[in-house]
Amino acid sequence: MKVVEHINEAKDTLFSFEILPPLKGKSIESIYNGIDPLMEFKPKFINVTYHREEYIYRERDKGLLEKVSIRKRPGTVGICAAIMNKYHVDAVPHLICGGFSKDETENALIDLQFLGIDNVLALRGDPIKTESTFKPTENGHSYAVQLIDQIANMNKGNYSHDEIQLAPTNFCIGAAGYPEKHFESMNMATDLHYLKQKVDRGADYIVTQLFFDNKKFFKFVEDCRAIGINVPIIPGLKPITKMRHISFLPKFFHIDFPDELSSELLKCKTDEEVRKIGVEWGIEQSKELKAAGVPCIHYYTMSNSSEVKQIAGEVF
């Protein structure tokens, strides 16, 4: 079932969350251990991130270097299939531009359709650690809007190398939105311009980057509606759980903490104190969003469900 169908049928705010594929060497049980505690809140869909392959250079004979691909996490497609089989809940795989040619993207979508997965979140993706900026794969996409365009074309039966129409796919396409703008955008207006392009090309709903200031989310939704973006907009939340998050989250995600939250965090001296503040803030933030009638609240668990369970237990 499609994400937008779940939203349209819902009588109240839905609960959903996102997990990371486990590190290499861990079993599927590590995924289930993170999902099981959250199933009491009846998620309608679970997102699974994709982590592109990275490379090392290994010395061969006569000083020559060989580029070797390393894969740190199992495949997203297989994890999605396992989740749907075990929990009978829709899985939403992340599909990214980086690391894929257009043909490889098409093949991945064909596999997803074959497995009965009809939701995807289309993202550009981050640069790999050895790149200072994002570099597209040869014959791949540079921007998420191009990826969305390809998926939308397949939904019309238009594939890459076929002159005749084939059976259309039926993907519900999600796109990312940034209440505090994408860090590469010149300003908020240009960021919203690009977001509208994604919707115009075929995105069915938007899920936001994490944020801690609901006022910025409400303003973001208002600005989206003002320029004709009328698809569902799902807020994405992540509880603060560690001291290092105080500096890491603003730096990595290019977000700000509200003054009220930052003043409380400045008093913290231990991870446990931060975790307590983070959970309390997450509860109040979620309650306000739910009272405002958002279609769904999406939690970034980072495969650690304990804090999200505490928050959801007070809200859902």
DSSP of 68-102, one letter per residue? EEE--S--HHHHHHHHHHHH--EEEEEEESTT--H
Instruction: State the DSSP H helix or E strand holding residue 120, giving kind and residue range, or none if neither.
Output: strand 119-123
What does the pLDDT look like over 279-315, one tens digit per residue?
999 999 999 999 999 999 999 998 789 999 999 999 9
Q: Please tell me which residue, 168 or 130, carries the higher pLDDT value.
A: 168
In this prediction, residue 4 carries a pLDDT of 98
Map out the domains of the chain with their CATH numbers. 3-315 (3.20.20.220)
What is the pTM assigned to this prediction?
Answer: 0.91
Instruction: Judge whether residue 88 has pLDDT over 80.
Output: yes
Alpha-carbon span 220 to 241, nearest angstrom: 26
Mean pLDDT of 187-201: 97
Q: Which DSSP helix (H) or strand (E) runs through 177?
A: strand 172-177
18 given a catalytic annotation: yes
Residue 238 has a CB neighbour count (10 Å cut-off) of: 22
Average pLDDT over every residue of 19-45: 90
- Predicted pLDDT at 26: 75
pLDDT at 166: 76
Averaged pLDDT, 43-68: 70
User: Average pLDDT in the 108-131 region?
Assistant: 87
Distance CA 312, CA 316 (A): 5
Q: How close are the terminal C-alpha atoms of the chain, in Å?
A: 22
Mind giving me the DSSP string for 243-306?
TTHHHHHHHHH-----HHHHHHHTT--SHHHHHHHHHHHHHHHHHHHHHTT-SEEEEE-TT--H
Burial label, 111 (beta-carbon count in 10 A; 0-12, 13-18, 19+):
middle
Q: Does the pLDDT at position 7 exceed 70?
A: yes
The whole-angstrom separation of Cα 1 and Cα 50 is: 21
Q: Which of 9, 18, 66, 222 is catalytic?
A: 18
Tell me the per-residue pLDDT of 213-251, one tens digit each, with 9 for 90 and over.
Answer: 999 999 999 999 999 999 999 999 999 999 999 999 999
pLDDT of residue 76: 87
